[in-house]
Amino acid sequence: MAKAIEACVHCGFCLPTCPTYGVQGQEMDTPRGRIVLMKDVLEGQLDLASATPYLDRCLGCLACEIACPSGVAYRELIGPFRAQTAGQRRRPLAEKFRRWLVANTLPYPGRFRLAVRVGKFGKPLGPLLPAFLRPMLQLLPKRLPARQTWPVRIPACGKRRARVVLLTGCAQQVLAPEINTDSIEVLTRNGVEVVVPPAQGCCGALAWHSGDLPAARRFAGKNLDAFADVAKSNGVSATGIDAVITNAAGCGSAMHEYQLIFRGTERAEEADRFRRRVCDISVFLRQLGPLQPIPRPSRPLTIAYQDACHLAHAQHVRQQPRTLLECIPGVRLVETTDPHLCCGSAGTYNIDQAEIAAVLGAAKANSLRATGADRIATGNIGCLIQIRNHLAQAPLAQTKLAQTPTAQIPTVEQGSGIPVHHTVSLLAQAYRGQL
């Protein structure tokens, strides 16, 4: 951490890219300010409680890392800092309870499904419930899609070109299980055998991004075992697996950080080997070579691709999803004016920092509407839900958005019916002739 802190020359190039600076407008809510805060806390010159609100407001979007000319590895600061100071932080009881509730439901599909059902009854009572519970209730979907399951091994169609294992995720399985089904369909159609480890679970991203290192290690360790075991029990050596596929940017980003999660432990080397094989589905499909021909949709489509921060900034994946979408005949891609800005989802940020997340979500929805796109594509379940929610709402008042970096917000009609999909779902729909 000292190395990353020392690399900062306080030039401020990162400031305009920081969404929280755009909303809050103060130095302590900038990457530069947060680096100074972390340094002062670590050196014992500042008490943790004074720094915590500003560090909690960091989305972890890593837009600052991309913008930094000095190569400050911000990801080596914010995650490890949160993990290191987790035990010393004092939080109000209500906040502790909310964090406990989230940590003990979201990563477990069965519990999460149950919580959504129970929460639906509580939703009409929203205004009467304690304020700390309301953001969670607001995010609950009106209805849950039917549960979907996948066989352990799904053979490739035709001649096998590759074999991969798929992370099926946790909350995504409940909120949008079709993303996994669509991923398997697109992969197998293109000659890829897919193995789905049955013993896998949450990748640990939620715990890691909230500073709970022991839980992150538990989740990640379970997956290291599950992915190794499924390869063995299917008679496949580790070298017989071409990649570990993720289709959620947040999960992929956390899995790429397994070496940070296990740093200093006996599993550090294993975690480092594992994370080198983790690959977002868009990257893998581009590396695979030419795709099977995709039928032309019934009409030309205009698609706006929204970068998920954990894909674009954390994994440097920007072009691959766009190129994949352009493989669909007749598709025209359009861009927003703020592709680098976070939509405010960021793991559980839209629960923990609901107000800032709402401003960012509304701004993103407005800039996506302004593209005139028929469809919106993104590569992360959190962004997908956040954007859907904000497109369904009336645009936030111009006055509230005036402070944001997307200052030229267009006037739009209430709500927008623009469908939002995962990139791979649009590909699957195109293959099925459903576009």
CB of 71 to ligand SF4, least distance (A): 8
Pick 25 or 126: Cβ nearer ligand SF4: 25
Residue 14 or 331: the one with the smaller Cβ distance to ligand SF4 is 14
- Kindly state the smallest distance separating residue 273's Cβ from ligand SF4, in Å: 27
Q: Are strands 243-246 and 162-166 parallel, antiparallel or unpaired?
A: parallel
- Smallest gap, in angstroms, from Cβ of residue 361 to ligand SF4? 15
Nearer to ligand SF4 among residue 206 and residue 281 (C-beta): 206
d(CA 211, CA 203): 14
State which residue, 62 or 245, has the beta carbon closest to ligand SF4.
62
How many C-beta atoms surround the C-beta of residue 141 within 10 A? 15
Q: How far apart are CA 187 and CA 155, in angstroms?
A: 10
Burial class (CB in 10 A: 0-12, 13-18, 19+), 300: exposed
Q: How far apart are CA 243 and CA 248, in angstroms?
A: 15
Provide the minimum distance between the beta carbon of 13 and ligand SF4 in the complex, in angstroms, as a whole number: 4
Pick 63 or 261: Cβ nearer ligand SF4: 63
- Cα–Cα dist 327/321, whole Å: 10
Q: Interface residues with ligand SF4 (CB under 6 A)?
A: 8-14, 17-20, 31-32, 34, 58-64, 67-68, 70, 72, 74
For the CB of residue 5, give the shortest distance to ligand SF4 in the complex, in Å: 9
What whole-number distance in Å separates Cα of residue 221 and Cα of residue 217?
A: 6
Phi-psi region of 307 (alpha: psi -120 to 50; beta: other; left: phi over 0): beta
How crowded is residue 96: how many other Cβ atoms within 10 Å of its Cβ?
A: 13
For residue 313, the minimal CB distance to ligand SF4 (Å) is: 8
H or E, element range at 422: strand 420-422
